Amino acid sequence: MTINEVAAGESRARLEENLDRVEELSKRLVSALTRRHPTPQALSGPDSALYAKAVQAYAQEWVNNPAKLIEQQVSFWGKTVTTFVEAQQQLARGKLEAPQDSGPSDKRFKNPLWDSHPYFNYVKQQYLINADAIHQAVDAIEDMDEKEKRRLRYFSQQIVDMFAPTNFLATNPDALMKAVETEGESLVRGLENLVADLEANNGELVVRLADENAFEIGENIATARGEVIYRNRMMEVIQYNPTTEQVQETPVVLFPPWINKFYILDLKPQNSMIRWVVDQGYTLFVVSWINPDAKYRDVGLEAYVEEGFLKAIEIAKDVCDVPKVNAVGYCIAGTTLCLTLSLMKKRGDKSVRSATFFTALTDFSDQGEFTPFLQDDFADGIEEEINQEGILPSFIMARTFSFLRSNDLIYGPAIRSYMMGETPPAFDLLYWNGDGANLPGLMFTQYLRGLCQRNEFAEGTFEMFGEKLSVKDVDVPVMSIAAESDHIAAARDVYRGVQLMGSRSKQFVMGQSGHIAGIVNPPSKGKYGHFVHDDLSLDFDTWTKTADFREGSWWPHWEDWLKKRSGKKVPARIPGDSAYEPICPAPGTYVKIKAAKQIQ
């Protein structure tokens, strides 16, 4: 038997082995899909009325300005034919070389074959021509409500992103080359990854962004030392161990968002805000929220305020034997901290000395990039899902946020995992991003309808505990931190809400980067700077143009402000007291409850 015959036999054996694995994986794939609970159609796209309005407006544009649309069509036809002819000419020469104009650059098309191979270059250029034509067609529509047009622009972009040639095996040179190099092994591994993701999420396709086996909460992430000193159905309260001999008299109570887990602020020692705050000499309490299941169907914002915010503040006051605390709220917890402060104002409760808000919205008059998700068709779909499940499952919120950056958070990871067969990276931030939490049905309906859609808090009409709450009621000293490129809580929207607050002492700081990196920006990194300006009477554009830029993290600036509102130095406090004895070590138990396991 020759060497070639032996090699051919081995290759055939590997092929048969891979085919057997594919058959087994196909059975698992079908089994996983049968466990899927269908979500309302409205959560997968807009209702047909949006497209009907777009067609009507486009037809009207043909009547009013046919020359402009004809010019666009002729340009599209010309570019298409030219690209086809150039590809034909390259193939006719029999040489694989880059055309004179390989088209615009795009990070999705990094493989040299996208430029040098006539087939792949044609596919790339035609895709970009089609994408540009769609963008022009949407922009050309004038007789359409601006909110509807914003939605149309968003959903048309999703279609453009979805049909990128990189998303399909036949037109992805990286995936094809990998399949050839591995004799199909990469495709089998990719199918294994796909099946594993479906099985882990009850038949829902949620692309894993990080290697979940690389991290264990409390072992190599969320390792700051402390004790859970209180637990109820809504939260665990963690008091962290002091690292200084003396601390500021007034403690800090930090409320993280309950859409994700609190350990974004304690991923690892070098970027842990929790460790940093403690190291500056503060007694720090952090709330770890429950990951709710269907039993929390009727839990509303009132429970988060009464059993969460007010209770945690009371605990910190009792343990530290002080009359006031400094409170911090991040994202939705910042919004709810504002609601709490308004309620406390109504009740004459002066337990909060100062409030700090991280990327927190209080004025939703401009819905920004979330406009597509805050209209009635999508909101009705959310309510239908809540009525069915009792909660809003975590994957729906995760998917909504991911589609704001679909190429980075959906299609790119899917290509690497499902077509290239790669193991997701061991990246702590992406692991946290995938460790989402469910949301109670009533709470999310209140937030979606009352705050986001009707903007009742900014209007002063949001009702809770028999009181009408208003952002104008917030009168404690305030510092609000926004992030320059935040897709979730746009800096200009955060700023507008701060302007409405009734506090005489207000500061607004805008950090560089986005919703996470703009906040988790330790001074040791020396990475992102920040902008400060004392005059909050200015409109946002003027504020940004005239603000002072400072290198490095905003954390020291905030700490200087916080220290002035933290009283004298006192001996460091160990966690708990006779009324709140330690229950278990940080990070506690609630943070380890996985959302996917809650949905049966």
Cα gap 284→456, rounded to integer Å? 32
3-class SS at 532? strand
Token pair in block for residue 347: 């009740």
Pick from 84, 523, 506: which is nearest to 272 by CA?
523
Burial of 586 (0-12, 13-18, 19+ CB in 10 A): buried
> Which contiguous run of DSSP H or E holds residue 211?
none
Pick from 590, 593, 586: which is nearest to 229 by CA?
586
The two beta strands, 506-511 and 478-483, are parallel
* Residue found under tokens 């992430």: 221
Cα–Cα distances (Å) from 215 to 425, 548, 568, in that order, read 11, 40, 40
Token pair in block for residue 174: 């990286």
Contacts 24+ apart (CB under 8 A), 72-79: 72/133, 72/136, 72/137, 72/140, 76/129, 76/133, 79/129
Binning the chain into helix, strand and coil, the percentages to the nearest 5 are: 55, 15, 35
- Active-site pick, 320, 331, 338, 452: 331
3-class SS at 260? strand
Cα gap 194→199, rounded to integer Å? 9
Cα gap 340→359, rounded to integer Å? 17
Q: How many CB atoms lie within 10 A of CB 56?
A: 13
3-class SS at 481? strand
Cα gap 322→310, rounded to integer Å? 15
The Cα angle at residue 513 between residues 414 and 262, in degrees rounded to 5:
70
Token pair in block for residue 466: 């028999």
Cα gap 443→424, rounded to integer Å? 33
Token pair in block for residue 177: 């080359």
Cα gap 155→43, rounded to integer Å? 12
Whether 331 sits among the annotated catalytic residues: the reply is yes
Catalytic residues, which ones? 331
